[in-house]
Amino acid sequence: MAGVILPLENDRKTIAAWVTLGLDHTKRRKSERLVADLCELDLIPPKATLPDELADLTELEFLGTLYVLEGSSLGGTIISREVRNKWGSSVPTGYFNPYGLETGRMWREFKGAMDGLSTSPDSANSVVEGACVLFNLMTKVGASA
């Protein structure tokens, strides 16, 4: 997953999508936490480039990838709790719970920005397509791990 998340967060189209939403991407970055978690586990973060599946996405499709990235924070709070319950608090979970107690507020802010976009049905379909591309890519990467 790190090979997808790290280059995706740093891509100029991802940053442009955050700007389109009027949200500060620097407050929503998770890659630093992911790298810290990997290093704490003595794993080397990959030096990855943006996967081909994401390279040609449009700005609207990149908005869909943000939906996946932000939505993962909701599920990540559950993953973080379960990891701590099973393996203890020494296991790093910063990536899974990047916003801590602010997760709900951050999600509502993101969802409000997405809902506030003026989009046609075709534009909305492009956003959904971008989300699907990232979901499919993460499924493929997860299956090969």
Rounded to whole angstroms, the Cα distance separating 29 from 76 reads 14
49 in Cβ contact with 110 (< 8 Å): no
14 in Cβ contact with 43 (< 8 Å): no
* Tens-digit pLDDT string for the chain (145 aa): 899 999 999 999 999 999 999 999 999 999 999 999 999 999 999 888 899 999 999 999 999 999 999 999 999 999 999 999 999 999 999 999 999 999 999 999 999 999 998 778 888 999 999 999 999 999 998 888 6
Structure tokens at 115: 């809902």
- Structural domain range at position 86: 2-144
Alpha helices per DSSP H over 1-145: 2-10, 12-21, 31-40, 52-55, 59-87, 103-115, 121-144
Structure tokens at 18: 């955050």
Domain containing 58 — which CATH number? 1.20.910.10
Structure tokens at 75: 């599920």
In the chain, the number of structural domains is 1
pTM: 0.88
Under DSSP, is residue 95 helix (H, G, I), strand (E, B) or coil?
coil
Under DSSP, is residue 45 helix (H, G, I), strand (E, B) or coil?
coil
8 in Cβ contact with 54 (< 8 Å): yes
